[in-house]
Amino acid sequence: MRYLFGSFLLCLVASASAQPVAIALHGGAGTIERGKMSGEVERSYREFLDAAVTAGHRQLQAGDDGLDVVVSIIQRMEESPLFNAGKGSVYTWEGRHELDASIMHGDRLDAGAVAGVTTVQSPIALARAVMERSPHVMLTAKGAESFAREQGFPMIAPSYFETERRKKALDNYKRSRRAGRDVDVDYKFGTVGVVVLDRQGNLVAGTSTGGMTGKRWGRVGDAPIIGAGTYADNRSCAVSATGHGEYFIRHTVSRDICARMQFARQTLDEAAATVIHEELVHAGGDGGVVAVDAKGNVALVFNTAGMYRASIDSTGQKQVGIYGTAP
């Protein structure tokens, strides 16, 4: 009897270890070109991306829940001024910071999102709280912050998000607009996102952003909109998007990729490539996605000059890249 019980436990352990894990993340897409970035800055990005994807993969290998991994890695990115999320968020036209985030679990199809928050340090953590502790999917602005206070989130001063780099970007944007000149294309890019397949076989996706430089009138992009910037379904894949949000909303990019896998039987690469390189390009939309499917395959697809990205697939193959189609 003791032998049988021991064999049963060994089978359970073997079954759990056989479940592959995978992770992919992005830190925004845009006109990211060699020669326009110093070697020191490039190293900073590469080192950060490598460390983040490695840490997330280790958590997944240890059996951590996908939700925990997505939140923890996005929080690392929210805390870095390198990215347009959290600490490094861009400025609105009025010189404020309005942050958005969303998260989705592929098994239960549960989701949570927040938009336009100004005093919460980690929007992705608040999005998870909306999913797990409220009957709603999306909360906005003052309502989201009221919920955050009720849930015990510490409120921070908006000055926490201030960086000189983003302030200069707003000043340049305003000068260009007022002079009637073409605006630097990168004003509309910048988001962070993480997608994972965990040991339990669940797909999870999360996205966080500071939005668009110079945005006005309470503009909300695709990042907090389930089906546009974020989607996860265990029957297909998990997707996090980055780019010109208005196009990702109109074309429900993340959900479209998952639906193409589920209903048209396309592979992850086929679905992501069709949406990003055909549907979006035809519409005039720029950006990219990171995605992972139920087998641990990874897709890093974008139609811009570059996308900060990193991944480790089910075979353990790691990719870290910034420019073009090659790392």
> Which residue numbers are catalytic?
191
The helix, strand and coil proportions of the chain, stated in percent and rounded to the nearest 5, come to 40, 25, 35
- Please state, in angstroms and rounded to a whole number, the distance separating the CA atoms of residues 184 and 57: 35
Strands 192-197 and 22-30: antiparallel
Strands 287-293 and 192-197: unpaired
- Please state, in angstroms and rounded to a whole number, the distance separating the CA atoms of residues 93 and 166: 12
What are the b/e assignments for 57-74, b being 16+ CB within 10 Å?
bebbeeebbbbebbbbbb
Beta bridge partners of 307: 29
R_g of the chain, CA atoms, integer Å? 19
Alpha-carbon distances of 148 from 119, 139, 155, rounded to whole Å: 9, 10, 8
Three-state DSSP class for residue 301: strand
CB of 177 within 8 A of CB of 22?
A: no
| Tokens, residue 299 | 């897709």
Nearest in space to 112 (alpha carbons), one of 135, 129, 125, 131? 131
